Amino acid sequence: MVSSLRGGYRSIAWILVGVLITVVVAFTLYSFIGAIVIGIFLYYATRPIYHWLDERVDHPNVSSTVTLLTVGLPILFILAYAVFTGIQEADRFFAAADLQYFRTALEPYLNLVSGSEDQSLLGVFRNNVSRVRGFATGALTWMLRLFVAFTLAFYLLRDDHKMARWFRHSFENQPSAVDFMERVDDDLTTIYTGNLLTIGVSGLLAVVVYYGLDFVAPAGVGIQFPILLGLLTGVATLIPSVGMKLVYVPYTAYLGWQSVSGGGTPLWFPVVFLVVTAAVVDVFPDIFIRSYLSKGEINMGLILLMYVLGAVAFGWYGVFLAPILLVVFIHFVEDILPALLGAEATTA
């Protein structure tokens, strides 16, 4: 009897220790949640390249490092530059349209990407020492986040097969758990490697085309806010059926209205804009990019909604976190919940 009580107390003590450790680890991970989800995104976005390279190099450390430096880092730099520039262009657009409410919503992000009136570091230092301190603190914070993200992505790329083997061995008596994680992995591959890269490639292609059209446009006529327009075009690829037509068709109408109302836009330019954008930005990616990358069973409209809601609910990292929450929730409801309800009904 005494031995049984001691065993019970010992079990309770270990459970409390486990709960304490879990809380501490969860708090630590939550402090770096943005860096962690970026690391997961980098892992899925670069995994196909890593597998291709590792088959030829046969050295996981080298393959992971080369993949992240040559593919992962440029992806983040291009994405960051596009987002920062797009935010500034959106602010100028809202200012021109006298939409002060939307400019207010952008203020937290504008404070991050905008500089002071004197753009030189020495000038900023002379004008406002606290601003320099804030800049240095922000730079160190982002460097730490990037370090965590790249470290996580490195070990996920190198050791994902070991993690998968450990999970299958640990839950070999729970096939539903293994199937659940495999389906989550498949859908995250679709969303990160497929949909986000589709947005990125389509948006980058749109930006290049819009800058090209701006270059050949007649004097005094051009594409306003090309990076913002390109980003919107890329995001619109996720909208079922109409897709990016929701972006470039109204802009074509705007150019046409300028032409017929005497705004200085020649009539041929809206026609060229429509034809080039439809052929190069819409049709070409639809045949050669989206058909290969954007696959999966999750509704595209729901994914787009989660991108938007995630950014609103969680901030900058919500775009990467929301898909994880969506996929886990969907497969829990589809795969795990019916089994739990069935087991509860059988017990009752």
pLDDT tens for 289-337 read: 665 555 566 777 777 788 778 877 887 788 888 888 888 898 888 888 8
Question: Is the residue at 165 inside a domain?
Answer: no
Which range of residues forms the domain containing residue 5? 1-31
Query: Do 7 and 84 belong together in one domain?
Result: no
**270: which residues sit within 8 A by CB, 6+ positions away?**
252, 255, 256, 259
Query: Do 27 and 53 belong together in one domain?
Result: no
Query: Do 154 and 189 belong together in one domain?
Result: no
> Final residue of a domain: which of 136, 159, 182?
159
Residues 336-348, mean pLDDT to the nearest whole number: 68
Quote the tokens at residue 165.
């083997």
Among the ranges given (17-26, 65-74, 262-271), the one the predictor scored with the smallest mean pLDDT: 262-271
Quote the tokens at residue 98.
């006298």
Cα–Cα distance for residue pair 109/3, rounded to 1 Å: 61
> Final residue of a domain: which of 129, 159, 189?
159
Cα–Cα distance for residue pair 279/323, rounded to 1 Å: 30
Question: Is the residue at 166 inside a domain?
Answer: no
In angstroms, the Cα distances linking 202 to 170, 228, 274 are 41, 13, 16
Cα–Cα distance for residue pair 240/252, rounded to 1 Å: 21
Query: Do 151 and 92 belong together in one domain?
Result: yes
Query: Do 114 and 145 belong together in one domain?
Result: yes
User: The tokens 């959106």 sit on which residue?
Assistant: 90
Residues 253-278, mean pLDDT to the nearest whole number: 80
Residue 137 has pLDDT above 80, yes or no: no
Q: What is the residue-averaged pLDDT of the chain?
A: 77
Higher-pLDDT residue of 76 and 128 is 76
Residue 145 has pLDDT above 70, yes or no: yes
Residue 117 has pLDDT above 50, yes or no: no
Question: Is the residue at 164 inside a domain?
Answer: no
Give the DSSP letter of residue 136. Answer: H
Query: Do 197 and 345 belong together in one domain?
Result: yes
pLDDT value for 116: 40
pLDDT value for 251: 85
Q: For a pLDDT cut of 70, what percent of the chain falls above it?
A: 75
Quote the tokens at residue 50.
């890593």
Count structural domains, the chain: 3
Give the DSSP letter of residue 225. Answer: S
Residue 113 has pLDDT above 60, yes or no: no
Residue 232 has pLDDT above 50, yes or no: yes
pLDDT value for 82: 72
**341: which residues sit within 8 A by CB, 6+ positions away?**
none
pLDDT tens digits, 18-31: 889 999 988 888 88
Query: Do 97 and 76 belong together in one domain?
Result: yes
Higher-pLDDT residue of 312 and 274 is 274
Query: Do 332 and 223 belong together in one domain?
Result: yes
- Per-position b or e across 197-227, b if 16+ CB within 10 A of its CB: bbbbbbbbbbbebbeebeeebeeebbbebbb
Query: Do 348 and 206 belong together in one domain?
Result: yes
Query: Do 234 and 332 belong together in one domain?
Result: yes
Question: Is the residue at 290 inside a domain?
Answer: yes
- The CB density around residue 45, as the number of other CB atoms within 10 Å, is 22
Q: What is the largest CA-CA distance in the chain?
A: 97
> Final residue of a domain: which of 159, 190, 217?
159
Question: Is the residue at 134 inside a domain?
Answer: yes
Query: Do 181 and 223 belong together in one domain?
Result: yes
pLDDT value for 154: 93
Quote the tokens at residue 78.
């291009």
pLDDT value for 151: 92
Residue 7 has pLDDT above 70, yes or no: no
Query: Do 198 and 53 belong together in one domain?
Result: no
Question: Is the residue at 262 inside a domain?
Answer: yes
Question: Is the residue at 143 inside a domain?
Answer: yes
